């Protein structure tokens, strides 16, 4: 995929996100900022960077916004194995989140994803994935009160 096609995909995603913001219903309760403030801000930042990316890709400078067209860069080898580890990590998460809890299944998901980027499956990669999953669960479930399910559950 060249830079122009990728730019068009990003413009489409911006349009889709803007449309989704218009679908957020107004709150029946009084609120000072409204339910769509944060999504509007996030989409605004995303749209700004998409416009910046398109400007850089269409300008005639030799400095490309990414390395997609660099002649020295090649795709990584063994794409089928990479994709299978990547999707397998997500599949493990979906299958194991109810019986084992968010953190343990998220850790296994992280190990699968990291393996798809040539990291060896080891205790180190599991610990890093565990810390990321625990941080995400703590942020969303404890601090922001979003129900992600239990951190650990052993209902087999």
Domain ranges of the chain: 3-58, 79-143
Q: Look over the chain and give the mean of its residue pLDDT values, rounded to a whole number.
A: 84
Burial of 104 (0-12, 13-18, 19+ CB in 10 A): buried
pLDDT tens column, 84-135? 999 999 999 999 999 999 999 999 999 999 998 888 889 999 999 999 999 9
| 8 A C-beta contact, residue 99 and residue 155 | yes
Q: What is the C-alpha separation between 121 and 144, in angstroms, rounded?
A: 32
| The model scores a pTM over 0.75 | no
């Amino acid at each position: 995929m060249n830079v122009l096609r990728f730019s068009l995909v990003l413009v489409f995603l911006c349009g889709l996100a803007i449309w989704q913001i218009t679908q957020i219903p107004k709150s029946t309760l009084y609120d000072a900022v409204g339910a769509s403030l944060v999504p509007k801000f996030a989409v605004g930042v995303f749209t700004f960077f998409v416009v910046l990316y398109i400007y850089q890709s269409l300008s005639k400078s030799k400095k490309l916004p990414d390395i997609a067209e660099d002649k020295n860069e090649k795709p990584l080898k063994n794409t089928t194995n990479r994709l299978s580890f990547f999707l397998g990590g997500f599949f493990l998460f979906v299958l194991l989140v109810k019986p084992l809890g968010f953190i343990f299944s998220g850790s296994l998901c992280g190990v699968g994803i990291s393996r798809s980027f040539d990291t060896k499956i080891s205790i180190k990669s599991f610990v890093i994935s565990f810390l990321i999953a625990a941080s995400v669960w703590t942020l969303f479930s404890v601090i922001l009160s979003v129900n992600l399910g239990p951190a650990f559950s052993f209902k087999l």
